């Protein structure tokens, strides 16, 4: 444990206890889960943070905590306990706020996990040490950290756009951007030394956020990115066309309506059509 982050270890222990309590006690889980209606209507703003201490299952918890312990030690040595904690919790809020904005009209949207906070820690490390290597658990793969960061950003953007899985891409993207911004505030010199890497990571994120704020239809219409006219009906079943009626059938329908509901039930357009049909069929 000599190489472990003290802050990371404490967060892991508290998150493990909270996650276990959520598994054991459904009422506890429901009280602290990220829930759009509970946040916006009931003003349960604490859920923006409390949901980061719950997880969907132990695999979800384990993956997040391995990532936290892998990246937090170096940041703790560089920034100290307080600033590492600041990066973690502000990034958690950043991820939650972006998820809340994107799903503000989805009252039934719910989420758990520390993904936003973890993304903030990871991206803080990436912009400080962009040429370091990232390895994957149980996989013999090594990738330069800034390349991993760029792929992560793009996957998150397309994940938010497609909404085809249960992964909290919104929290990932919001936490990553927040982690970058907080790190710049804590260590402004990084703007001079690694400005190109920061631009490569931040620009796609900022451009996407501006796009969905200015044109919310991007999130509503499949395969629409704001560069062409949206096809609002592309995913909607078309109503079958009514077969055309003969003049005799039209007249019969109008006469039936008169017999059942009276002449006064006809609309002005139907009365005009009745006269036309009567004159034509004489």
The pLDDT score that the predictor gives to residue 134 is 84
The tally of CA atoms less than 13 A away on the side-chain side of residue 129 is 12
> What is the share, in percent, of the chain residues with pLDDT greater than 70?
84
Q: Which of 115, 124, 145, 156 is catalytic?
A: 115
Six token digits for residue 50:
């409390």
The pLDDT score that the predictor gives to residue 241 is 41
The pLDDT score that the predictor gives to residue 239 is 43
Q: Which of 55, 169, 172, 194 is catalytic?
A: 172
State the greatest distance between any 2 C-alpha atoms of the chain, in Å, as a whole number. 103
The pLDDT score that the predictor gives to residue 151 is 94
Mean pLDDT of the chain, nearest integer: 85
Residue 127 pLDDT greater than 50, yes or no? yes
In tens, the pLDDT along 192-238 reads: 999 999 999 999 999 999 999 888 887 877 777 777 665 555 444 44
The pLDDT score that the predictor gives to residue 172 is 95
Angle at 218 between CA 214 and CA 220, to 5 degrees: 120
Residue 3 pLDDT greater than 90, yes or no? no
In tens, the pLDDT along 94-121 reads: 999 999 999 988 888 899 999 999 999 9
To which H or E segment does residue 65 belong? helix 58-79
- Looking at per-residue pLDDT, the higher value among 96 and 2 belongs to 96
Q: Give the count of beta carbons closer than 10 Å to the beta carbon of residue 259.
A: 9
Three-state DSSP state, 62:
helix
Residue 68 pLDDT greater than 90, yes or no? yes
pLDDT bracket for residue 1 (50, 70, 90): very low
Six token digits for residue 47:
């859920």
The pLDDT score that the predictor gives to residue 235 is 46
Residue 103 falls in the annotated catalytic set: no
pLDDT bracket for residue 261 (50, 70, 90): confident
- The arithmetic mean of pLDDT across residues 131-137, rounded, is 81
Residue 194 falls in the annotated catalytic set: no
**Residues 6 or more apart from 231 whose CB is under 8 A from it?**
221, 224
Which of the residue ranges 105-109, 152-156, 172-176, 266-270 would you say has the lowest mean pLDDT? 266-270
The pLDDT score that the predictor gives to residue 7 is 94
Three-state DSSP state, 134:
strand
């Amino acid at each position: 444990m000599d190489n472990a982050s003290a802050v990371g270890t404490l967060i892991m222990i508290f998150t493990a206890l909270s996650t276990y309590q959520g598994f054991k006690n459904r009422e506890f889980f429901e009280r602290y889960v990220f829930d759009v209606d509970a946040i916006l209507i009931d003003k349960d703003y604490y859920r923006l943070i409390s949901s980061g201490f719950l997880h969907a299952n132990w695999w979800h918890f384990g993956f997040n905590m391995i990532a936290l312990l892998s990246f937090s030690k170096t940041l703790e040595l560089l920034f100290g306990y307080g600033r590492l904690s600041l990066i973690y919790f502000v990034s958690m809020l950043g991820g939650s706020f972006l998820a809340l904005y994107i799903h503000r009209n989805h009252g039934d949207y719910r989420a758990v996990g520390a993904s936003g906070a973890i993304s903030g820690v990871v991206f803080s490390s990436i912009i400080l040490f962009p040429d370091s290597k990232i390895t994957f658990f149980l996989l013999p793969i090594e990738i330069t950290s800034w390349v991993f960061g760029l792929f992560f950003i793009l996957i998150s953007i397309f994940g938010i756009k497609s909404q085809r899985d249960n992964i909290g891409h919104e929290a990932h993207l919001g936490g990553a951007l927040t982690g970058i911004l907080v790190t710049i505030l804590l260590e402004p010199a990084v703007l001079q030394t690694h400005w190109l890497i920061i631009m490569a990571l931040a620009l796609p994120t900022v451009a996407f956020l501006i796009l969905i704020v200015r044109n919310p239809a991007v999130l509503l219409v499949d395969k629409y990115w704001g560069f062409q006219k949206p096809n609002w009906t592309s995913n909607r079943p078309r109503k079958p066309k009514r077969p055309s009626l003969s003049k005799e059938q039209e007249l019969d329908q109008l006469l039936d309506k008169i017999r059942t509901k009276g002449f006064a039930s006809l609309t002005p357009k139907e009365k005009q059509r009745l006269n036309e049909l009567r004159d034509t069929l004489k």
